[in-house]
């Protein structure tokens, strides 16, 4: 079963869910039910609330109905005929009015004794569906049509796959994902917190979490510094005129935080992105083709007024820290810059242990009004990216409709330890914004030309990257990133002095090593359990026999007993892992 067939199956199961609900709760108002990445959902207004305890009953009813369904029959109804099918259902009436505004009819699809307003996309036959290949999973609140001004509905989610085995594999993955939830690990490992007094979507990072952020950013910037990018800095507020010129205001104006000045009449906003600022640095002086490429980078926080209901841990926030960069180059330099960015991306993600594939995010040719710039420029840009992907033998696929409004991009998709795919690094080609800002450089004939701009973020949003990375590692950070790399555990107070000596000897060889000594008067068993709970890479246990032999007993994370060794031998091992980012 290909992806389209699977999505059609999932959409068909959404119909089946609605049929079961309407049989069990006939006073319910049904609304919409699409297929989603791992299954389907349907939104309802129930006359009496239901709970997740009711899901098994609904699922059972779906399986009872399924044998009576086969193919989906298509029917066409006028607006009045369609509305008669949904007495007192204002949600369906709203959709019908929308779909028939030009006088056309609407399509209904019927299978078994159930039919519903629908545009289509169903299984060839419901007889082919394994009754054990789907499962209802949870309830959630959902505003009608995603608008918080509308009524809150009850959304029922379901999972659906080709086979029972694939469903079970996915459920196992979800159970593992629950254990790895970055919000739980962030709390238990003391990495970040979210305060109601500060506000939703505005995470605060503890010393441990801030250390990981800084180490990752140093590595990200260092890879680009080595290839000629230079640091710049820009303020966190700006006149909204900047974003009106760039085109962001028209597209995303309602997502910006507005700032009111007590001194001037300027309309200011918290900056939602860095590219217009970097363009102003480029525009600050005349540029020659001899100066290009000009490479700017800045790790800074931007702000977007995301909807409160969509905020979640670090994966969706209002304060977004980007390890951002913008390159201004000639058309002939595009391939060179992309090659450098691809090399940087491969190195970074190989280091952190995530496999990549590339999504070539192109514009939707059926909706050209969504994008800025001329069609010829878009075609040229997309062909350049396609050729670059082929030349680099990238594992790539094309996705129409996923481009930024100002240009196509390569979205690198990273696979985590439990098989989920996340869009992270993104080099974006932009022929549009430099023209809107009137940026120019003088070519070798003395003529003004418009530079090409390449946007790039290696981690993207550092907050979102950390949500992915914490779950990818399950909090078992590699030695170079671990907030505490080593903890020395004296068996009793008699070994405290020796434990401190071990720490000092390690720091003599590796001054920046992160070494703790557990000086508490707890049992060694409790000390080991707590260090393991904090996922410290190495525990060095010292007792009377270690003092006598001038050694340490080394235990690696995950109860790996590495035996007895000298402090120097252990220090050499630790230094190798830090230097090689292991």
CATH number, domain at 402? Answer: 3.30.930.10
Inform me whether the pLDDT recorded for 251 exceeds 90: no
Beta carbons of 466 and 317 less than 8 angstroms apart: no
Bridge partners of 563, per DSSP, are 554
Task: Determine the pLDDT at residue 469.
Answer: 98
User: Of 157, 179, 201, which residue is a domain's last?
Assistant: 179
Cβ atoms within 10 Å, residue 242: 18
Shortest CA distance to 279 belongs to which of 228, 243, 227?
Answer: 243
Q: How distant, in Å, are the alpha carbons of 71, 227, 228, 449, 532 from that of 443?
A: 64, 24, 22, 7, 61
The end-to-end CA distance of the chain, in Å, is 40
- Give CA–CA dist 40/168, Å, rounded: 16
Chain centroid, CA 319 distance in Å? 14
pLDDT grade, residue 2 (50/70/90)? low
And the tokens for 508? 């003599």
Domain residues for 72? 3-179
Task: Determine the pLDDT at residue 15.
Answer: 97
Helices 334-351, 207-225: inter-axial angle, 10-degree rounding? 140
Q: How distant, in Å, are the alpha carbons of 101, 237, 550 from that of 107?
A: 14, 50, 82
Beta carbons of 333 and 267 less than 8 angstroms apart: no
CATH number, domain at 126? Answer: 3.30.980.10
User: Could you confirm whether 248 is annotated as catalytic?
Assistant: no
- Give CA–CA dist 251/237, Å, rounded: 19
Bridge partners of 441, per DSSP, are 449
Catalytic one among 29, 304, 316, 527? 304
Bridge partners of 297, per DSSP, are 231, 325
pLDDT average, residue stretch 327-351:
94
Give the pairing of strands 486-490 and 515-517.
parallel
Q: Are residues 212 and 348 in the same domain?
A: yes
Half-sphere exposure of 4 (CA within 13 A, CB side): 3
User: Of 179, 197, 232, which residue is a domain's last?
Assistant: 179
Shortest CA distance to 237 belongs to which of 302, 325, 293?
Answer: 302
- Give CA–CA dist 462/300, Å, rounded: 10
- Per-chain mean pLDDT for the chain: 93
| Beta strand spans in 379-464 (E) | 396-400, 409-415, 421-423, 426-430, 441-442, 448-449, 452-461
Does a structural domain hold residue 478?
no
- Give CA–CA dist 145/393, Å, rounded: 42
Task: Determine the pLDDT at residue 373.
Answer: 76
- 20-50 confidence digits (pLDDT tens): 999 999 999 999 999 998 999 999 999 999 9
Q: Are residues 166 and 32 in the same domain?
A: yes
Does a structural domain hold residue 132?
yes
Give the pairing of strands 486-490 and 538-542.
parallel
Cβ atoms within 10 Å, residue 552: 30
Task: Determine the pLDDT at residue 249.
Answer: 84
Inform me whether the pLDDT recorded for 198 exceeds 70: yes
Does a structural domain hold residue 221?
yes
Inform me whether the pLDDT recorded for 316 exceeds 70: yes
Catalytic one among 9, 275, 428, 518? 275
Q: What is the 3-state secondary structure (H, E, C) of 222-242?
A: HHHHCCCCEECCCCCEEEHHH
Q: Are residues 134 and 234 in the same domain?
A: no
Q: Are residues 448 and 492 in the same domain?
A: no
Catalytic one among 279, 322, 449, 495? 322
Beta carbons of 362 and 428 less than 8 angstroms apart: no
pLDDT average, residue stretch 67-73:
95
Calculated CA dihedral for residues 515, 519, 521, 526, nearest 10 degrees = -10
And the tokens for 233? 């800095």
Cβ atoms within 10 Å, residue 413: 18
Beta carbons of 383 and 407 less than 8 angstroms apart: no
Q: Are residues 198 and 156 in the same domain?
A: no
Which of 146-150, 171-175, 204-208, 491-495 has the least mean pLDDT?
146-150
Q: Are residues 201 and 156 in the same domain?
A: no
For the chain, count helices (H), then strands (E).
18, 29
User: Could you confirm whether 180 is annotated as catalytic?
Assistant: no
Q: Are residues 429 and 528 in the same domain?
A: no
Does a structural domain hold residue 285?
yes
Catalytic one among 180, 182, 318, 409? 409
User: Could you confirm whether 455 is annotated as catalytic?
Assistant: yes
- Give CA–CA dist 173/167, Å, rounded: 10
And the tokens for 235? 């303020």
Does a structural domain hold residue 130?
yes
Look up tokens 């939602």; give the residue. Answer: 272
User: Of 473, 499, 520, which residue is a domain's last?
Assistant: 473
- Give CA–CA dist 164/167, Å, rounded: 5
Which of 324-338, 363-377, 391-405, 534-548 has the least mean pLDDT?
363-377
Calculated CA dihedral for residues 565, 567, 573, 574, nearest 10 degrees = 130
Beta carbons of 462 and 213 less than 8 angstroms apart: yes
Task: Determine the pLDDT at residue 254.
Answer: 80
Does a structural domain hold residue 385?
yes
Inform me whether the pLDDT recorded for 1 exceeds 60: no
Does a structural domain hold residue 479?
no
Q: Count structural domains, the chain.
A: 3
Q: Are residues 300 and 370 in the same domain?
A: yes
The whole-model pTM stands at 0.87
Q: Are residues 169 and 199 in the same domain?
A: no
And the tokens for 51? 């709970």
DSSP state letters, 98-157:
HHTTTS--EEEEEETTEEEE------S-GGGS-TTSEEEEEEEEEEGGG-TTS-EEEEEE
Beta carbons of 137 and 170 less than 8 angstroms apart: no
Helices 207-225, 462-473: inter-axial angle, 10-degree rounding? 110
- Residue 207's H or E segment, with its range, is helix 207-225
Q: Are residues 139 and 193 in the same domain?
A: no
Catalytic one among 323, 324, 411, 416? 324
Give the pairing of strands 152-160 and 134-143.
antiparallel
Calculated CA dihedral for residues 265, 269, 274, 276, nearest 10 degrees = -40
Catalytic one among 316, 455, 464, 555? 455
And the tokens for 265? 């009449």
Query: How is residue 312 annotated by DSSP?
Result: B
Q: Are residues 77 and 163 in the same domain?
A: yes
Query: How is residue 31 annotated by DSSP?
Result: -
CATH number, domain at 510? Answer: 3.40.50.800
- 370-413 confidence digits (pLDDT tens): 887 778 878 888 998 899 899 988 999 999 888 887 788 999 99
User: Could you confirm whether 472 is annotated as catalytic?
Assistant: no
Does a structural domain hold residue 69?
yes
Catalytic one among 326, 464, 503, 555? 326
Query: How is residue 404 annotated by DSSP?
Result: B
Task: Determine the pLDDT at residue 352.
Answer: 95
User: Could you confirm whether 304 is annotated as catalytic?
Assistant: yes
User: Could you confirm whether 322 is annotated as catalytic?
Assistant: yes
User: Could you confirm whether 464 is annotated as catalytic?
Assistant: no
Query: How is residue 360 annotated by DSSP?
Result: E
Q: Are residues 419 and 551 in the same domain?
A: no
Shortest CA distance to 483 belongs to which of 520, 512, 442, 454?
Answer: 512
Task: Determine the pLDDT at residue 255.
Answer: 85
Burial, 105: exposed, middle or buried (Cβ in 10 Å; 0-12, 13-18, 19+)?
middle
Inform me whether the pLDDT recorded for 212 exceeds 90: yes
């Amino acid at each position: 079963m290909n992806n389209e067939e699977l999505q059609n199956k999932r959409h068909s199961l959404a119909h089946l869910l609605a049929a079961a609900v309407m049989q069990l709760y006939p006073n319910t108002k049904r609304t919409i039910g699409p297929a989603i990445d791992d299954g389907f959902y349907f939104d309802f207004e129930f006359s009496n609330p239901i709970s997740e305890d009711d899901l098994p009953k609904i699922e059972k009813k779906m399986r009872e109905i399924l044998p009576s369904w086969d193919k989906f029959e298509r029917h066409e109804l006028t607006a009045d005929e369609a509305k008669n099918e949904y007495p007192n259902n204002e949600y369906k009436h709203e959709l019908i009015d929308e779909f028939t505004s030009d006088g056309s009819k609407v399509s209904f699809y019927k299978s078994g004794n159930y039919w519903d307003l629908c545009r289509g996309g169903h299984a060839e036959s419901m007889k082919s569906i394994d009754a054990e290949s789907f499962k209802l999973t949870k309830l959630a609140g959902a505003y009608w049509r995603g608008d918080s001004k509308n009524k809150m509905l009850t959304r029922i989610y379901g999972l659906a796959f080709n086979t029972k085995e694939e469903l079970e594999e996915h459920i196992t993955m979800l159970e593992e994902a629950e254990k790895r939830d970055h919000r739980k690990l962030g709390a238990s490992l003391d990495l970040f917190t979210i305060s109601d007094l500060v506000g939703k979507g505005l995470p605060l990072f503890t010393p441990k979490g801030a250390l990981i952020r800084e180490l990752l950013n140093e590595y990200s910037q260092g890879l680009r510094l080595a290839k000629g990018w230079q640091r710049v800095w820009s303020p966190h507020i700006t006149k909204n005129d900047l974003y009106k010129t760039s085109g962001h205001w028209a597209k995303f104006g309602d997502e910006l935080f507005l700032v009111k000045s007590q001194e001037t009449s300027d309309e200011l906003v918290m900056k939602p992105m860095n590219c217009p600022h970097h363009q102003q640095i480029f525009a600050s002086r005349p540029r020659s083709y001899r100066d290009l490429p000009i490479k700017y980078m800045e790790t800074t926080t931007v702000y977007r007024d995301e909807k409160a209901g969509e905020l979640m841990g670090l994966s969706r926030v209002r304060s977004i820290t980007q390890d951002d960069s913008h390159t201004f180059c000639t058309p002939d330099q595009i391939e060179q810059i992309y090659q450098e960015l691809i090399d940087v991306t491969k190195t970074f993600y190989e280091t952190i242990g995530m496999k990549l594939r590339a999504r070539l995010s192109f514009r939707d040719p059926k909706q050209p009004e969504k994008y800025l710039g001329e069609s010829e420029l878009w075609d040229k840009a997309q062909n350049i990216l396609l050729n670059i992907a082929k030349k680099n033998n990238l594992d790539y696929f094309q996705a129409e409709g996923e481009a930024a409004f100002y240009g196509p991009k390569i979205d690198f998709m990273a696979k985590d330890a439990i098989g989920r795919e996340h869009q992270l690094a993104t080099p974006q080609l932009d022929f549009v914004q430099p023209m809107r800002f009137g940026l120019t450089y003088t070519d070798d004939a003395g003529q003004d030309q418009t530079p090409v701009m390449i946007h790039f973020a290696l981690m993207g949003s550092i907050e979102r990257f950390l949500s992915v990375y914490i779950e990818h590692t399950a909090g078992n950070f590699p030695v170079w990133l671990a907030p505490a790399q080593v903890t020395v555990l004296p068996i009793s107070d008699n070994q405290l002095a020796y434990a401190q000596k071990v720490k000092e000897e390690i720091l003599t060889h590796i001054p920046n090593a992160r070494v703790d000594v557990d000086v508490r008067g707890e049992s060694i068993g409790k000390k080991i359990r707590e260090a393991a709970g904090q996922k410290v890479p190495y525990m060095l246990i010292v007792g009377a026999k270690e003092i006598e032999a001038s050694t340490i007993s080394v235990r690696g994370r995950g109860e790996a007993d590495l035996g007895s060794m000298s402090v120097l031998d252990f220090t050499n091992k630790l230094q190798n892992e830090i230097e090689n980012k292991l």
